[in-house]
Amino acid sequence: MGGIGANRDHPAEFFYDNMIMGVELMHHAYKRGVGKFVATGTVCAYPKFTPVPFKEDDLWIGYPEETNAPYGLAKKMMLVQAQTYRQQYGFNAIYLLPVNLYGPRDNFNLETSHVIPALIRKAIEANERGDKELQIWGDGSPTREFLYVEDAADGIVSAAEIYNGDQPVNIGSGYEISIKDLSEMIVKLTGFQGKLAWQTDKPNGQPRRGLDVSRAKELFGWSAQISFEEGMRRTIEWFKANRDKIK
């Protein structure tokens, strides 16, 4: 998996690898008599123009955003597999839809990383070089929702312990932010002194992403606890402390 650039450059690999991983893992878990299987999908499975906030019942109303559709569709097939294996075999497989994750130990490789780790690294390194500009893909208008990694882990564990149904369940923070506002926050938190330069010839990706997270609360009592700014501070601090270990 990766950001827009990685998805655009490796669509066949991302489709094949994710499809095969999901199908084989769940199938062999069933064959070996595993008592419960937790499948983690992706927000990329949602249609490009899903009404915001994204509700789980809208998963099939359209085609995903083009740059990440191969990845998103491969992951969405795990929902079909989970529901059909439950129907035919009585296999207890549940399906979760995590939103974009971030936090310590994220992937900070600029060729494959998602927007938050990429911008953190670019801002810090640009500031050290004394750059006057920080170049960012797109025009800043798309919105995204992000979930701190510890909240994500807690949500997955809570579902594993409590939830045993066939409905897909969003795992998110319920907080939507534009790429422009996100970039300005990172500039502020990293201390970058230059200006933002928007590369409008680059793709924006999906126009908006924001989840309805009420189902997780209703079905297994889970909701995110870490505020976005606090999670960002922790992520930036971790990157600064571990830069020498990151390629």
Q: According to the model, what pLDDT value does residue 55 have? A: 98
177 has which bridge partners? 144
Question: Is residue 134 a contact partner of residue 196, using CB atoms and an 8 Å limit?
Answer: yes
Report pLDDT digits (tens) over 96-141: 999 999 999 999 998 888 899 999 999 999 999 999 999 998 999 9
Q: Map out the domains of the chain as residue ranges.
A: 4-245
Q: The domain 4-245 is classified under which CATH number: 3.40.50.1370, 3.40.50.720, 3.50.50.60, 3.40.50.620? A: 3.40.50.720
Tell me the whole-structure pTM to 2 decimals: 0.91
Asked if 71 is an active-site residue, the reply is yes
**Average pLDDT rounded to a whole number, residues 164-186:** 97
* pLDDT of the residue at 106: 95
Which position among 30, 46, 71, 148 bears the catalytic label?
71
Model confidence over 207-244: pLDDT tens digits?
A: 888 999 999 999 999 999 999 999 999 999 999 999 98
Residue 158: the pLDDT is 98
- Cross-strand partners of 176: 145
User: How would you class 112 by CB atoms within 10 Å of its CB: exposed for 0-12, middle for 13-18, buried for 19 or more?
Assistant: middle
Name 139's bridge partners.
none
> Which pLDDT band, with edges at 50, 70 and 90, does 245 fall under?
confident
Q: Give percent of the chain above pLDDT 70.
A: 100
DSSP state string for the chain: --SHHHHHH-HHHHHHHHHHHHHHHHHHHHHTT-S-EEEE--GGGSBTTPPSSB-GGGTTSSPBPGGGHHHHHHHHHHHHHHHHHHHHH---EEEEEE-EEE-TT----TTT--HHHHHHHHHHHHHHHT-SEEEEES-S--EEEEEEHHHHHHHHHHHHHH---SS-EEE--S-EEEHHHHHHHHHHHHT--SEEEEETTS---SS---B--HHHHHHH-----S-HHHHHHHHHHHHHHHGGG--
Q: Is 28 exposed, middle or buried (0-12, 13-18, 19+ CB in 10 A)?
A: exposed
pLDDT at 7 over 90: no
